[in-house]
Structure 1
Amino acid sequence: MVAAEDSKAQGRSGGRPDSRRGAAPRRKLLMSEIVDQAMRIFAERGYDGTTLQDVADAVGLSRPNLYNYVKSKEDLLVAMVEATTESAANALREVRQRTDLDSADKLRMLVRALVLRRAEQPAQFRTLDRSDQALPPEIAKKHLQGRRAVLREITGVIEEGITAGRFRPVDARVTALSIIGMCNWVAWWFHPSPAHPAEPVAEQIAENAVAMVAREAGRTPDTPTPLGAVALLRQDLDYLTRLLTAEGEGEDLPPDDA
């Protein structure tokens, strides 16, 4: 167990953090285990019903050793927010800023990344979702900022696609909220297993998201310019002309039973 190994290492160094090479990765790994265990217990017993001793016992650390990593339950909530919202927003921002992808590819990657996060860290997300109203003010503010950042990144990609003529002129914010809800719900219903991995689910939801906004085949302008939009209007006018012509010709035809 990581905690046991870390405890032994601290024992050899008199309780001080190990300064040798590899100490930082081990600390990061143990911190991740602490957060994971805390989220599991929060989900089972609620935030108020969980103590730091419960977390220490679950990880295999003494309470004094746990204090080398977290000082309070609020520290664990901060770590949760950073892992579930802030890091997600940062990852999505990197995708949105890429210049080698078109809007559909960006949206596909954003949704896939968000679904995989929800599938891999369901307890963290569910705990924050359930505890949203009970979070301490500063942590609630941090959580809200992260959620707004996620919404902003997805909305930005949708707006980019609309401007480029790749997506239909939908309400970008409403659509982004719908897509985020679809991704978030994965944390509640999906249970990964070797026979049911998360990746195919993420791929399907990503394709569903793109299908929600994509223009039909042949309706995408060659260039995202006003002239490109005019070209689409001409296509519509040509199609309307054909319909009107066909209807006019049909009026001159004798009835089928004549």
Structure 2
Amino acid sequence: MTEADAMTAGKAAVTSVDEAGTAAGWRLYTDDGLPPVLQAALACFVEQGYHGTTIREVAARAGLSVPGVYHHHPSKQALLVGIVTRAMAELWERSTAALEEAGPDVGRRLDLLVECLVLFHAHRRELAFIAASEIRSMLGDDRTTYIEARDRQQRLMDTVVEEGVTRGAFTTDYPREVSRAIVTMCTAVSQWYRTDGELSPPELAARYRTMARMTVGAA
């Protein structure tokens, strides 16, 4: 899959998010919008890992023949790229909508971006987990495209923290390191969060908002 193909897939993947009104509903989560083949591949990758999964297993889970899978996705790598592209595109759409809602107040921008990251990695934990953990399995231009999308996402937090320090709203002496620490803390939610745990996603997000403010040295 070329970079252009990945971008096209990403735009198509977030159509359901856009139609639901991301700007007004970035906190809302329903169906993940993955087509059946990608849903089957995601389940297999979560259970067995990318390298431990065969196209035949994906086909069986999706209720298709092997040629049926190849009709939509020419390789196992293309399945992984489809999943990762969906994850990064949806996270970007929700994050930019959260920042738009926050407006110019830098403290609120930090709050809502952290909330968005935590909600996404709790509600989309399997999608987010594979996107993060299977970068090792991505090749060539697909890997480069993913890293660019990840870095673009990180820059959202970098900008918020740096702006807060410049305005005197945050007192940390290490804005870049703090920014990466906050994002890492939020994205790690996908590794351990369970729906039957102590906290709901909104409750967890509220705690993380407080921790993020403490980390940047905000009031």
Q: TM-score range by the shorter chain?
A: 0.7 to 0.9
8 Å contact kept, 2:161–2:179: yes
Tell me how far apart the structure 1 counterparts of residues 170 and 164 of structure 2 sit (CA, whole Å). 5
Tell me how far apart the structure 1 counterparts of residues 207 and 182 of structure 2 sit (CA, whole Å). 13
Please give the secondary structure, in 1, of the residue aligned with 2:53: coil
Match in the other structure for 1:21? none
Match of 1:183 among 181, 186, 195: 186
Tell me how far apart the structure 2 counterparts of residues 151 and 91 of structure 1 sit (CA, whole Å). 14
Tell me how far apart the structure 1 counterparts of residues 182 and 58 of structure 2 sit (CA, whole Å). 34
Residues 151, 52 of structure 1: CA spacing in aligned structure 2 closer, same or farther, 3 A cutoff?
A: same
Q: Letter of the aligned partner of 2:145 in structure 1?
A: K
Percent of pairs identical after alignment? 25
Residues 112, 140 of structure 1: CA spacing in aligned structure 2 closer, same or farther, 3 A cutoff?
A: same
Match of 2:74 among 71, 75, 91: 71
8 Å contact kept, 1:81–1:142: no
User: Does structure 1 residue 164 correspond to structure 2 residue 167?
Assistant: yes
Q: After TM superposition, give the deviation of residue 138 of structure 1 in Å.
A: 1.6
Tell me how far apart the structure 2 counterparts of residues 63 and 30 of structure 1 sit (CA, whole Å). 22
Match in the other structure for 2:139? 136
8 Å contact kept, 1:77–1:139: no
CA RMSD of superposed structures (Å): 2.7
User: Does structure 1 residue 145 correspond to structure 2 residue 183?
Assistant: no
Q: After TM superposition, give the deviation of residue 201 of structure 1 in Å.
A: 0.9
Q: After TM superposition, give the deviation of residue 41 of structure 1 in Å.
A: 0.9
Q: Taking structure 1 as the reference length, what is the TM-score of the superposition?
A: 0.64
Residues 101, 69 of structure 1: CA spacing in aligned structure 2 closer, same or farther, 3 A cutoff?
A: farther
Rg larger in structure: 1
Match in the other structure for 2:200? 197
Give the count of matched residue pairs: 190
Q: After TM superposition, give the deviation of residue 169 of structure 1 in Å.
A: 4.2
Tell me how far apart the structure 1 counterparts of residues 196 and 50 of structure 2 sit (CA, whole Å). 28
> Relative contact order: is structure 1 or structure 2 higher (C-alpha 8 Å, sep ≥ 6)?
2
Q: Taking structure 2 as the reference length, what is the TM-score of the superposition?
A: 0.74
Q: How does 1:24-173 map to 2 (within 5 A)?
A: 31-96=34-99, 100-173=103-176
8 Å contact kept, 1:166–1:215: yes
Residues 99, 110 of structure 1: CA spacing in aligned structure 2 closer, same or farther, 3 A cutoff?
A: closer
8 Å contact kept, 1:95–1:110: yes
Gaps of 5+ in 1: 1-24, 217-258
Residues 176, 36 of structure 1: CA spacing in aligned structure 2 closer, same or farther, 3 A cutoff?
A: farther
Q: After TM superposition, give the deviation of residue 194 of structure 1 in Å.
A: 8.5
Residues 102, 191 of structure 1: CA spacing in aligned structure 2 closer, same or farther, 3 A cutoff?
A: same
Runs of 4+ in 1 over 4 A off after TM superposition: none
8 Å contact kept, 2:98–2:112: yes
8 Å contact kept, 1:96–1:157: no
Tell me how far apart the structure 1 counterparts of residues 33 and 107 of structure 2 sit (CA, whole Å). 38
8 Å contact kept, 1:37–1:58: yes
Encode CA deviations 1:21-54: one digit per residue, 9 max, x unaligned: xxxx9xx977444323312211222212212221
Tell me how far apart the structure 2 counterparts of residues 104 and 30 of structure 1 sit (CA, whole Å). 32
Residues 138, 51 of structure 1: CA spacing in aligned structure 2 closer, same or farther, 3 A cutoff?
A: same
